Structure 1
Amino acid sequence: MRRDWKELDQQVTVAGQIRPEDVAHLAAAGFRVVICNRPDGEEAGQPDWNEINEACKHNGIEARYLPQADRSPTDYAVSGFARAMRETQGKVFAFCRTGARSEALWNAAKARMATAA
């Protein structure tokens, strides 16, 4: 597995598209949740959500699907990302095509959580 991961804080790491065979490496690295921020069918050859979800189940990782079509975070995706962060005792791995949308969602979720506190 390529290691172009970007650790945003002690809990959340983001990266570009992963493949089902990468999930075992995520489990071994201690990730408890995988969040997919990439809509299915965005690019030819991209693994679909069901493939990633099945790999997560097989490796004991919770999987959450919060697709985001662009870098403008939707309320649905921000709320889901914040919920994943609040509910997870451990590390969260989020991915999209390059990691940029996942990072934007993390920033929006952190801001929302700070104003709710």
Structure 2
Amino acid sequence: MEIRQISEDYSVTGQIALEDVAQIKAAGIKSVICNRPDGEQVDQPTQDAVRAAVEAAGLTFRYIPVVSGQMTADNVADQAKALEELPAPILAYCRSGTRCTNLFLAIQQSKA
């Protein structure tokens, strides 16, 4: 798992495995956002399974699924709300981290 820092309190990564949660916690992450819809790939863990592992580690979890190539204004608003509400630092993941990065950039543009 490669964590890429986008801002002081926001990082992104590709799909996480359940065994990655210990590394995420050790990195000081306080919250995890899943931007990947369940079922995109047959071998990906469900958001429910990731949520259970994240919450068992004492971290906060939010599910904001974004269909690849179909980011909506609601997705951006939901992500912005999560960034305001969740304890930081926050790690967001999708298949590669691109959707999570694009959401962050769209939030920044909406503030300009």
What is the TM-score with the length of structure 1 in the denominator?
Answer: 0.88
Equivalent residue of 2:7, what SS?
Answer: coil
Instruction: Could you list the structure 1 runs, at least 4 aligned residues long, displaced by more than 4 angstroms after superposition.
Output: none
Residue 14 (structure 2) aligns with = 16
What is the TM-score with the length of structure 2 in the denominator?
Answer: 0.92
TM alignment of 1:11-90, pairs within 5 A: 11-90=9-88
What is the RMSD computed on CA atoms of the aligned residues?
1.3
- The aligned amino acid for 1:103 is T
User: How many Å apart are 1:90 and its aligned residue?
Assistant: 2.0
Q: How many residues align?
A: 112
2:106 alignment partner, one of 105, 108, 116 = 108
Gap regions ≥5 residues in structure 1:
none
Gap regions ≥5 residues in structure 2:
none
User: How many Å apart are 1:93 and its aligned residue?
Assistant: 0.2
Equivalent residue of 1:76, what SS?
Answer: helix
- The aligned amino acid for 2:96 is T
